[in-house]
Amino acid sequence: MDIVVLIKFVPDLVEDLEIDASTGLLDRSFLRLMPNELDEHALEQAVILKERHGGRVTVLALDTGDVDEALFTAVAKGADRVIKITGDGFDQGLGSRRIATILRRALSDVRFDLILTGTQAVDDLDGFVGAFLAADLGLPYVGYVTQVAAADGRVVVRKEYPGGLNAEIEVSGPAVLGIQAAERAPRYVVTSKVMEAMKSAKIEEFAVDEVSVENEFAISSMALPESGTHAEMIEGTVPQIAQRLAALLKERGILA
Amino acid sequence: MSSATSYEFLDKVISATPDGEKIRKCLQCGTCSGICPYGFAMDYPPRSLIAALRADDFHGVLESDTIWLCVSCFACASVCPAKIPLTRGLLATLKTEMLIGGSIPQELQVALGNSRRYGNALGESPKKRAEWARDFTVPVPILSAHKEPVEVLWFVGDYASYHPRAQQVSRALAKLLFVLDVHFGILGPEENSDGDTQAFTGEWGLFELLARKNTQAMGKYRFTEIVTGDPHAYNAFRHEYPRLGFDRPVKHHTQYLAEHSERIRALLQNRGSRRVTYHDPCYLGRANDNNIYEEPRQLLRAIPGLELVEMSHNRAQSICCGGGGGGMWLDGYSWEKAHTRTSEWRVKEAVAVGADVLAVACPYETPRFEDAVKSTGNEGKLAVKDVAELLVESMFG
C-alpha cells in the first residue's frame, strides 16, 4: 500500500505568541515553527501500515521552518520518499484552501492508495486541508480517524465522534484520511539515524508558482485571549479547605 | 527489535568504550548487582546481563526493559574488582540498543525529543534560558552582549536555568561570584544542554549534537575557565567533550569556591546552629574518579555554627538521588517497576543522623530531595540546600 503523508509546520507554542499591531495578525517574524502534532501521528500511522503491509511512504511538506530536518527525520522513521514544496510566501502562513491547491499540484506525479494527514492543525484548527484536497482530487475523505485497518484490498477506518461514539467506515479506492491519533505515540528515532538519513537520503524539490484560489477565507484580525478573574487559592487546614470547597460547590449549584 | 547477536553487541561495547575489553575479565562475582540501587528490580542487573550475553541470550535481554531502571550512578563500575566500565560501556550501550529498537518509555522519549528540538530536556524556550537572571539584584552578563574576555564562563545547565527550585541555586551562585568580584559571563540563549545525561540514556548522537553546539558557542568567547554548578556538565566537559576536540579547563562551583575559601570565610557569619549532612553527587564523586569529596565539605565546615555530620553512605559509597542516566525523566516508569525512590532512602538517612539540612551540589538534587522530604513525611524537619545557598545564607542571612 502506497501512502502519502502531509506535514504542516505550525507555530511552536513554547514561544509566546504576539499580535502585530499594524496588521492585527500573528507576528510571524520571531515565530518558531514545528511540525503539527497530528501530522506526526499521520506519519506514525503510515509507517505502521507500511511495516504491516509493505508499500512506500511519501512525505510532502511546504518549505517552512526546519522542513529539511523534519523530512530527514521522516526518512529515519521509515519514509521512502520526501518532497519539499518550494514557493513564495509560505512563511506568512497560508490558508487551507491555498495549501490544498498547492498540494494537489505537487501530488500530480505521486502514486498513492491513501493520503494521511493530521485531522487538523493547531494554528487554524479548521481541519479543512484534507477535505479540500480530497474534493479537488475527487476522492472520499474521513476525518477524526483513530484506527486504520487494511485487508484484502479494503480499508476500514474508525472515526471518532463527540460523546464517545465511534463509527467503522469502509473506504474504497484511494482516499484521504484525517488522523486524530495513531495507534501508538509517534516513535522517537535516535539522532544518529537522522544524521544517517541526512547523508544518504535526498529531498526532492517541487516548485509551485503563484497559485490563484477562489473563495479563500481571510482573517480580519486576531487577539490574544483576555485572562479572566484569577483563581482563588483556598488556604487553611484540611477541614477548613474542605468546608470552603463544599460551600463553593453548593454556591455554584453543583452540590445540593 | 535488533537482530544482533550477543557477540556483536559485546563487540560494540568493547569498541565504544575505553577499557571496554575488560568485560571479558568478568568473574561473575556479583558485587555490581549487589551494590546497584535498582538491581533488585532489574531482570538483568550487570552480572546477570554479562552471563546472559555469554550464553548468547541477547534476545532475552532485549525482551526486558528494566535496563531503564539504571540511573548511571557508577556504583557498579566503582566496585568492580576487574574495573570493567559497566556504566559507561555495558549499560549505556544496551540503552542505545533499546533506543534503536524503539523500546523507550514515553516520558523518556519526551525528554529526548525536547533536548533535540529545544536544546533542553524540559521543553522550555531556548530564548528564555537566561530569564532566571533577568532583573536580578546582581548582574549576570550574557557573553554575546559583553565583548570583553572573562575569567569564568559559567555554564549554567538545563535545570539550573529553567527549574524554579534550581534557579534559586543559580541566583545564590550569582551572588557569590559577584561578592568575590569574579569577571564572569554566561552563554544565555546560546547555551544548550551539556548532553551528559542524554548520553547515559544511550543517545550518543544527541549528545554529540548538543556538545557541538556548546563547543561552537564557547568558541566565540574568550575566557580562562569554565565553572558549572552541574556535576553532569562537569563530567561531560572533562571526560566526554574531549573526544570531540574540546579542550577547556572546567571546575565545579564547589571546587571554584573552595579555591576562594579564605575570602569567603571572611564574609561568613554565625546565623544560628545547624546540623548539616552532605550528599555526594555521583558525577562529582565516584563517576570517572572525579573524586570531588573534600571541597564541598571544606566550604560547609567554614560556615560558623554549622556542624557537619556524615550519613552512613558517603563519598564513593553515596547513593544516587535517582536522577542520573535518564532517571530524572523516568520517575513514573521507575516507580511502576520498583515502587521505591532512592531519593527517599537518602532523605531517611539524613533524618537518621539528625540533620536539619541536607546539603547538595547538583541541580537534580534540590527538587528531587525536596519531593522526597514531602513523600516521606519529613516536611518541616529537613531542609534541602545547595552548598552555594548555605554560603549565601551565612553571608547575608
> What chain B residue is nearest to A33 in terms of C-alpha separation?
B117
Average pLDDT over residues A116-132: 95
Beta-strand (E) ranges in chain B?
150-155, 184-186, 223-228, 250-252, 274-278, 306-309, 357-360, 383-386
Which residue of A15, A188, A194 is in closest CB contact with B104? Answer: A188
| Residue contact A193–B109, C-beta within 8 A | no
pLDDT at A153: 79
Residues on chain B touching A14 (C-beta within 8 angstroms): 118, 123-125
Range with lowest mean pLDDT among A91-105, A124-138, A227-241, B30-44: A227-241
Q: Which of residues 174-203 of B touch A (CB under 8 A)?
A: 202-203
A248 shares contact with chain B (CB less than 8 Å): no
pLDDT at B135: 92
A188 shares contact with chain B (CB less than 8 Å): yes
The label of the residue with cell 541555586 reads B169
pLDDT at B287: 97
Q: Which of residues 201-220 of B touch A (CB under 8 A)?
A: 202-206, 208-209
- At A124, list the grid cell: 487554524
CA distance B193 to chain A (A): 15
| Residue contact B208–A191, C-beta within 8 A | yes
B125 shares contact with chain A (CB less than 8 Å): yes
Residues on chain B touching A191 (C-beta within 8 angstroms): 116, 203, 205-206, 208-209
Q: How many CB atoms lie within 10 A of CB B55?
A: 10
Q: With 60 as the cut, is the pLDDT of residue B1 above it?
A: no
**What pLDDT digit, counting tens, does each position of B300-312 carry?**
999 999 999 999 9
- Give the residue from A139, A133, A63 showing the smallest Cα distance to A98: A133
Percent of chain B at pLDDT exceeding 90: 97
In the 8-state DSSP scheme, what is residue B225?
E
Q: With 90 as the cut, is the pLDDT of residue A255 above it?
A: no
| Residue contact A190–B100, C-beta within 8 A | yes
Query: What integer best gives the mean pLDDT of chain A?
Result: 94
**What pLDDT digit, counting tens, does each position of B86-121 carry?**
999 999 999 999 999 999 999 999 999 999 999 999
pLDDT at B3: 62
Which residue of B123, B125, B206 is in closest CB contact with A191? Answer: B206
Residues on chain B touching A32 (C-beta within 8 angstroms): 125
CA distance B125 to chain A (A): 5
Q: With 90 as the cut, is the pLDDT of residue B291 above it?
A: yes
pLDDT band at B326 (very low <50, low <70, confident <90, very high): very high
DSSP A173-220: SSEEEEES--SSPPPP--HHHHHHHHHH--EEEEE------SS-----
- Give the residue from B319, B363, B370, B324 showing the smallest Cα distance to B345: B319
In the 8-state DSSP scheme, what is residue A84?
E
CB B153 within 8 A of CB B221: yes
DSSP A108-138: TT---SEEEEES--TTT----HHHHHHHHHT
C-alpha B334/C-alpha B339 separation (Å) is: 7
A199 shares contact with chain B (CB less than 8 Å): no
Tell me what ipTM this predicted complex has. 0.93
Which residue of A188, A192, A193 is in closest CB contact with B112? Answer: A188
Residues on chain A touching B106 (C-beta within 8 angstroms): 185
Beta bridge partners of B127: none
pLDDT band at B2 (very low <50, low <70, confident <90, very high): low
Residues on chain B touching A188 (C-beta within 8 angstroms): 99, 102, 104, 109, 112-113
B67 shares contact with chain A (CB less than 8 Å): no
Beta bridge partners of A147: A158
**What pLDDT digit, counting tens, does each position of B231-249 carry?**
999 999 999 999 999 999 9
Average pLDDT over residues A76-88: 97
- Give the residue from A89, A102, A91, A44 showing the smallest Cα distance to A64: A91
A34 shares contact with chain B (CB less than 8 Å): yes
Q: With 90 as the cut, is the pLDDT of residue A139 above it?
A: yes
Beta bridge partners of A169: A157
B393 shares contact with chain A (CB less than 8 Å): no
C-alpha B18/C-alpha B239 separation (Å) is: 11
In the 8-state DSSP scheme, what is residue B142?
B
A194 shares contact with chain B (CB less than 8 Å): yes
Which residue of A14, A188, A192 is in closest CB contact with B125? Answer: A14
CA atoms within 13 A on the CB side of A159: 16
Percent of chain A at pLDDT exceeding 90: 79
Angle, CA of B363, B366 and B372, to the nearest 5°: 135
**What pLDDT digit, counting tens, does each position of A155-203 carry?**
999 999 999 999 999 998 899 999 999 999 999 999 999 999 999 999 9
B104 shares contact with chain A (CB less than 8 Å): yes
Range with lowest mean pLDDT among A82-86, A93-97, A192-196, B26-30: A93-97
pLDDT at A226: 83
Which residue of B100, B113, B127 is in closest CB contact with A15? Answer: B127
C-alpha A200/C-alpha A193 separation (Å) is: 10
> What chain B residue is nearest to A196 in terms of C-alpha separation?
B205
**What pLDDT digit, counting tens, does each position of B190-223 carry?**
999 999 999 999 999 999 999 999 999 999 999 9
pLDDT at A148: 97
| Residue contact A190–B125, C-beta within 8 A | no
B224 shares contact with chain A (CB less than 8 Å): no
Buried b / exposed e along B28-54 (16+ C-beta atoms within 10 A): eeebbbebbbbbeebbbbbbbbbebbe
Q: Is A241 helix (H, G, I), strand (E, B) or coil?
A: helix
A15 shares contact with chain B (CB less than 8 Å): yes
